[in-house]
Structure 1
Amino acid sequence: MPDLGAFCAEIRPRGRTLAVLGHPQEMAVRNGCTALAVDTLHRPIEIGEFRWSSSAGPWAGFPVECRVLGPRGSLDQYGFDHALIGLCVSGKGTLRVRDPGTVRRLQSLPGRFSLLASGFEQRPVAWSGMREMVYVALASEELERLMSHDPAAARLNVDPQFAISDPQVVSIVLNMRNEILAGCPAGRIYGEALSSALAAYLLARYSHQGAPVAPRGLALSAQQIRRVREYVTANLERDIGLTELADQVGLSPHYFAMLFKQAFKVSPHRYVLSQRVHEAKRLLSDGRMAISEVALRLGFADQSHFSQVFRTFVGTTPKRYQCMC
C-alpha cells in the first residue's frame, strides 16, 4: 500500500495542528456559509485561500463558496455538518483516497466533482496540485425547505463519490457560480430554482432514498393558476422568490416548479421575466418613463440587466423599441 504519510503535508494555524484541506470533502456549513470541515471534537477546520461566498450577496438557495486549494495536504479524521459538492473549475491535481485494503489515485480536473455525505465516517484522503474549487453545501435546512412536502428528502443520504463527471451537476453548479459572481441579477427565484433542480437530481441519481415524486394526477387548479398570475402581476417590482410563489398555492418549491411548468409551459423564473418584459413594453410605449426608471420599476437589477433580458424576449433593445413606438 502506498505510504500516505509521505505524501501528506500539515500546517499549524493558530497554534493547533490541522490538516490543510484540498478537495471537495472539506466544507461544512457553520455560522451561515463557511468552507469548513470539523474535527472529531466538532471544531472548525479552515481550508485553502478564500475567494468568495454567496453569503456576501442576495443569493437565495444552497450556500456556495469558492476557495483555491493546494499545493498538497491530507486528512484522516474529519466530518461535515451537511452533504456537499466540490467542483474543480480550474487547475488540476491528484487525489488519493484510502479504502479498506487499497488506495485509489484519482485525477482532479475542471468539470469533475466530489459528492460527500454528512457525518464523520469519511475515508482518509491526501491530495496535491493547485485548484480553484466551488463548493455547494447541501444544507439540510435548505433541503427541507425546498422539499417540504417530502420529509424523507430533507437529508441527502449518499455514498461518497470522488472526482466524478456528471454534466447535469456541473451545469447547475456553474450556473450558480456565474449568477453569484454577476451579483445575482436574476433574483431569488433563479437561485432557488437552481437549488431545487440540483436537489431533485441528486436525490434521483445519487441518494439511497430516491427522488420525490408528485402524487399521481396532481396539477395546479384553475384557481391556483389564477392566484399565481395575479400575485406575479401585483409584485413585478419585487424580488419574487420561488418559495414565495409556492406558498401562494400551498406547495413545496420543488413540487410547485414541476406543476408550474406543466401548467404554464415555462419555468417560474422565465414566466416572471416574460411578465416584466410585457409590462416594460407597455411603459416604454407610453413614453412617460425613462428606460432606467422602467428597469427600476419592474425589479431588474439595473438598466444593463433590463436591456439584456428585454433583447432576449423582444429581439431589440429597450431604446430602439421605444423609438419605434
Structure 2
Amino acid sequence: MTDTGAYGENLGSRFELQNVPTILSRNVKRGSLALTEIRGNDPIPFCSKPIPIENAYLVAIQKRDYPNHLYWEDGKQYPVQNLRAGQTLLYDLRRDPVVLMDKPFHSIHFYLPSDVLDKVAEEASAPKISELAYKPGCGYDDPTMVNLMSAAATAFTNPEEVPQLFVDHIALAMASHIASTYGGLVPGSHVAKGGLAPWQKKRAKELIESRLDGDLELEDLARECGLSKRHFCRAFRQSTGQSPHEWFQLRRIDRAKDLLLDRDKSLAEVGILSGFSDQSHFTRVFMQYVGTTPGVWRRNRCE
C-alpha cells in the first residue's frame, strides 16, 4: 500500500525537495506516525505548495532561526513572526497551511493523524480531542517536545542502528505529549495504574529475548499482553523499573557479555549475534550501558 500522508516525499515535494530523510512508525493501528527532515539553503523565494487536506497535524521543531516568518491558513495571512531555533509550531492540515520560503530553512516535522489522537484519548479513558489549540504561525517554547524530537532524530543519522521499538516508543510519547499540552487531554479516573501481571511480564520478556535483532514493534508487545500501548509502557516500567526499549538494549548487552567470554568469536561476530548492525554500533551501545568497550571488558574478564 502506498503511503499518502504528509510526510516523506509527499511532504518534501511541497518544499521543492527530494530524498528527504524520514522515520516511520506504525505503532498505532489506525495510522502512521512519521518524522520528516526539511532543509534548504539560500532558496529562490517561493511559497510552499498546498498540502492535500486531511484530518491530521504537522508539529514542527525549528532547527535554525527563521526571521520574518510569513504564514497563511485558508488563504488568510497571519502576523509575521520571528521564529527561533528550538521552537515548536503546529499546522492543521485541514486549514491549507502555506509558508513563504525566502531564506535558509531547517526543521523536523512530526506527522500526527487525528485518528492517532483519538486512540491516545481512548487509551487514557478521556474524551476525544476535537482539535489542537495553537496560534497560527507562532512558535512555542516546548522543552519536552524538543527533547523527544532530538531523541527520535538520532535515527536520521544511523537508521540501521535504531530499533523499531525505540522509534515506536518515542513516537507514542510525542503523540501523548501533544495530546496533553495542546489538546487538553486529561486521563479518566479509571485508568489502570498497576504493573504487569506475572504472565504478562513473562510473555513480554520472552518476546523481547526472541527478537533481539530489532524486528519488534511496541504494538507486538502490547497486543501479546492484551493491553493498549500506553498502558503497557506504563505497566512495564512499573514492573521492571525500565522502559521496554531500555530492557531490550540491556538484554542485547547481556547476550553480548556471554558471547564475549568465547575468545574464538571476534568482536564483530559478537555484535552481529547480539542483534547490532555492525561492530561500531555494538561498541557505542556497549560503552553507553557498561562504561567501557567490549574489547576492554573481554580482556578484564578473560585474563
Deviation at 1:134, TM superposition (A): 1.4
**Pair 1:134 & 2:108 matched:** yes
2:115 pairs with 1:115: no
Q: One-letter code of the match for 1:105?
A: V
Percentage of pairs with the same residue: 19
Q: Among residues 159, 163, 186, which one is paired with 2:133 in the alignment?
A: 159
Task: Pick the aligned partner of 1:86 from 57, 60, 63.
Answer: 60
Encode CA deviations 1:88-147: one digit per residue, 9 max, x unaligned: 212523224569999522112211121122313x57765643211211111346657777
- Could you say which residue in structure 2 is the equivalent of 1:234? 210
> 3-state DSSP class of the match of 2:159?
coil
Distance 1:84 1:240, change over 3 A: same
Say whether 1:202 aligns with 2:170: no
Residue type of the alignment partner of 1:134: I
Counterparts of 1:156 and 1:303, CA distance in 2: 48
Correspondence 1:1-325 to 2 at 5 A: 30=4, 33-34=7-8, 36=10, 46-50=14-18, 52-54=20-22, 62-68=33-39, 70=43, 72-74=45-47, 80-81=53-54, 82-97=56-71, 103-120=78-95, 126=100, 128-140=102-114, 149=123, 157-161=131-135, 162-210=138-186, 215-324=191-300, 325=302
Distance in 2, Cα, partners of 1:197 & 1:153: 19
**Deviation digits for residues 231-262 of structure 1, max 9, x if unmatched?**
22233234322222212201222221111111
**Cα distance 1:242–1:308, how it changes in 2: closer, same or farther (>3 A)?**
same
Which has more radius of gyration? 1
Q: 1:298 to 1:45 in 2, by over 3 A?
A: closer
- 1:93–1:107: 8 Å Cα contact kept in structure 2? yes
Give the TM-score normalised by the residue count of structure 1. 0.75
* Alpha-carbon distance in structure 2 between the residues aligned to 1:317 and 1:156: 50
Residue 173 of structure 1 and its aligned partner are, at CA, apart by 1.5
Q: Is the 8 A contact 1:140 1:154 kept in 2?
A: no
The AA in structure 1 aligned to 2:109 is: Y
Indicate the SS of the match to 1:90: coil
Please tell me whether the aligned partners of residues 90 and 134 of structure 2 are also in contact (alpha carbons under 8 angstroms). yes
Deviation at 1:311, TM superposition (A): 1.5
1:86 aligned counterpart, secondary structure: strand
Contact persistence 1:36–1:47 (CA under 8 A): no
Give the unaligned 5+ runs of structure 1. Answer: 1-28, 38-43
1 CA distance for matches of 2:20 and 2:97? 28
SS in 2 for 1:255: helix
User: Take 1:191 and 1:68, find their aligned partners in 2: how far apart are those partners?
Assistant: 22
Cα gap change, 1:59/1:45 in structure 2, threshold over 3 Å: closer, same or farther?
A: closer
Report the RMSD for the aligned CA atoms in angstroms.
Answer: 3.5
Amino acid at match of 1:274: L
Q: Letter of the aligned partner of 2:204 in structure 1?
A: V
Distance 2:101 2:187 in 1: 33
Cα pair distance change 1:267/1:36, threshold 3 Å: same
The alpha carbon displacement at 1:206 in A equals: 0.5
Gap runs ≥5 in structure 2: 28-32
2:147 counterpart SS class: helix
- What do the CA deviations read for 1:8-47 (whole angstroms, capped 9, x no partner)? xxxxxxxxxxxxxxxxxxxxx726833657xxxxxx9722
Contact 1:95 1:128 survives alignment (8 Å):
no
